[in-house]
A and B are shown apart, each in its own frame.
Chain A
Amino acid sequence: MAVANTERVQKRVIAILLAFPRSDRYSILVGNNGRYTTQEVYDAILEADAQVCTDIIETEGHPYGVQFIVPSTPLSSGSLIPAHLGNISKVEVAVGTTYSGGLLASSRSEVLEVNAFPSIYGTVNRWYWIENNEIVHTGTNAKVYYPSLTMTSLCQSPEGYEESVIAGAVAALAKDGASSDYYSYYNQQFNMYRQLIRGQAMVLPPAQMFEQAA
């Protein structure tokens, strides 16, 4: 998936802020002025980008969310799930060394009971339960797929959301004494974009809500 072009975003932000050098009106470098530095603009862009990515991640079922999903290391039953943003995408439970889709049990107690009394339940594979960031399961190991965002030196938002990164970066560069109308405009733009991004949600109640009722 194409992501926002960091260089292009930087040029656009510097142009909007009128911070380009006189010699080049569309530059990735800030000109000689006392108001902004190139590094500051660059950092603001990455922060705005991270905000857009977080919006995607936190929106359940967002079509762009898949690019942030990573598997955990193999987790034994009773392990804590590593810290992450957003909702868990899926759980795979291993029988031996082969991972396949986990089956949601009815409660944590049930899974613990199954593990404690194998002679009653017989061979029980692939069941799991997650509660308070702890996973308990009946397999040999489990992998939890969850969204993860690590800021890098480049933008990670989808290309289609590039304009929101630009608006967010400009809004983030507001300084004391600046024209509040100017920065408010971009702040509003950014928030509008964020609402649109979050509006991509496919609003579905978690499957657990139905399964637990059984």
Chain B
Amino acid sequence: MTQEEVAILVARRMGSLVPARLRFQALVDDGLSRLAVKVAQDVKMRPYLITPLLTTTATLDSSGIADLSTLVSSNQVLIDYLQYGQIYHSSSAYPLQWVGNSAQGKLPNRFDKMLLTCWLVGQNLYAKGFNQAPLTGALSFAVPFIPTLAQLPSNLSNNLVDKVTELLIESPKDYAEDSAK
């Protein structure tokens, strides 16, 4: 679907005439963001919007830290939903295990020999190898992301129209409530 086609479908739902479509078209990107969050939160829908492992990578430096800002800005990775996906390193067949924070990450635990671990500080991902050794090299990500229209699976087209329509019928009060939070 194109942005224009989404706007046409929204206009049909809203019973709006042709000129209103331009206004709707401007909301398609916002709709995609909302849909991505909804999909990430829904365990059944999540597989629809997961980044491909081969092309979604980040490099760990010698201290075992990977800056994810490029993945966030270019690959539209949802960093706040990173834990709902899987992160892999070539040294293990199993995905990295999440720990709550850097304190937990630095403490030895009984699975150190078996599992790689990681935690997030800001947009930096810290990774530990076996037996607490710093992990280096490339990490591959299969994690929730915000798709472009071209990346959106056709099964989710209708959900996108839902989200854009939802944005249109929100009242200013809804936004006020958000900002109060």
Given contacts A121-B3, A122-B3, contact A212 B28 (CB under 8 A): no
Q: Give residues in A with beta carbon < 8 Å to B.
A: 103-106, 110, 114, 120-125, 127, 210-214
How far does the alpha carbon of A15 sit from the alpha carbon of B9 in the complex, in Å? 67
Give residues of chain B (2-44) contacting chain A, Cβ–Cβ below 8 Å: 2-4, 16-23, 25-26, 28-29
Q: Is the CB of B4 within 8 A of A125?
A: yes
- Interchain CB contact (< 8 A) of A127 among B2, B3, B22: B22
CB closest residue in chain A, given B6: A122
In the complex, chain B residues whose CB is within 8 Å of the CB of A122:
2-4, 25, 28-29, 149
In the complex, chain A residues whose CB is within 8 Å of the CB of B21:
103
Q: Is the CB of A106 within 8 A of B4?
A: no
The residue in B3, B16, B26 that gathers the most chain A C-beta atoms within 10 A of its C-beta is B26
CB closest residue in chain B, given A110: B22
Q: Give residues in B with beta carbon < 8 Å to A.
A: 2-4, 16-23, 25-26, 28-29, 149
In the complex, chain A residues whose CB is within 8 Å of the CB of B16:
214
How far does the alpha carbon of A180 sit from the alpha carbon of B28 in the complex, in Å? 72
User: A106-B23, A123-B2, A123-B4 are known contacts; what are 10 more A-B pairs with Cβ within 8 Å?
Assistant: A103-B19, A114-B22, A121-B22, A121-B25, A122-B3, A122-B28, A124-B3, A124-B25, A213-B17, A214-B20
In the complex, chain B residues whose CB is within 8 Å of the CB of A114:
22
In the complex, chain A residues whose CB is within 8 Å of the CB of B22:
105-106, 110, 114, 121, 124, 127
In the complex, chain B residues whose CB is within 8 Å of the CB of A214:
16-20
CB closest residue in chain A, given B25: A121
Min C-beta distance of B3 to chain A, whole Å: 4
Q: Is the CB of A124 within 8 A of B4?
A: yes
Min C-beta distance of B95 to chain A, whole Å: 35
Min C-beta distance of A198 to chain B, whole Å: 31
17 contacts between A and B (CB under 8 A): A103-B18, A103-B19, A104-B19, A105-B19, A106-B22, A120-B26, A120-B29, A122-B149, A123-B2, A124-B22, A124-B25, A211-B17, A212-B19, A213-B17, A214-B16, A214-B18, A214-B20
In the complex, chain A residues whose CB is within 8 Å of the CB of B17:
210-211, 213-214
Q: Is the CB of B18 within 8 A of A104?
A: yes
How far does the alpha carbon of A127 sit from the alpha carbon of B28 in the complex, in Å? 18
- Interchain CB contact (< 8 A) of B26 among A103, A121, A125, A127: A121
In the complex, chain B residues whose CB is within 8 Å of the CB of A125:
4
In the complex, chain B residues whose CB is within 8 Å of the CB of A212:
19
Q: Is the CB of B3 within 8 A of A106?
A: no
Min C-beta distance of B52 to chain A, whole Å: 24
Min C-beta distance of B59 to chain A, whole Å: 29
Given contacts A121-B25, A124-B25, contact A211 B3 (CB under 8 A): no
Q: Is the CB of B18 within 8 A of A211?
A: yes
The residue in B16, B18, B22, B26 that gathers the most chain A C-beta atoms within 10 A of its C-beta is B22
CB closest residue in chain A, given B11: A214
How far does the alpha carbon of A125 sit from the alpha carbon of B25 in the complex, in Å? 12
CB closest residue in chain B, given A111: B22
Min C-beta distance of A67 to chain B, whole Å: 30
How far does the alpha carbon of A168 sit from the alpha carbon of B108 in the complex, in Å? 106
How far does the alpha carbon of A41 sit from the alpha carbon of B121 in the complex, in Å? 94
In the complex, chain B residues whose CB is within 8 Å of the CB of A105:
19, 22
Q: Is the CB of B3 within 8 A of A123?
A: yes
In the complex, chain A residues whose CB is within 8 Å of the CB of B18:
103-104, 211, 214
In the complex, chain B residues whose CB is within 8 Å of the CB of A104:
18-19
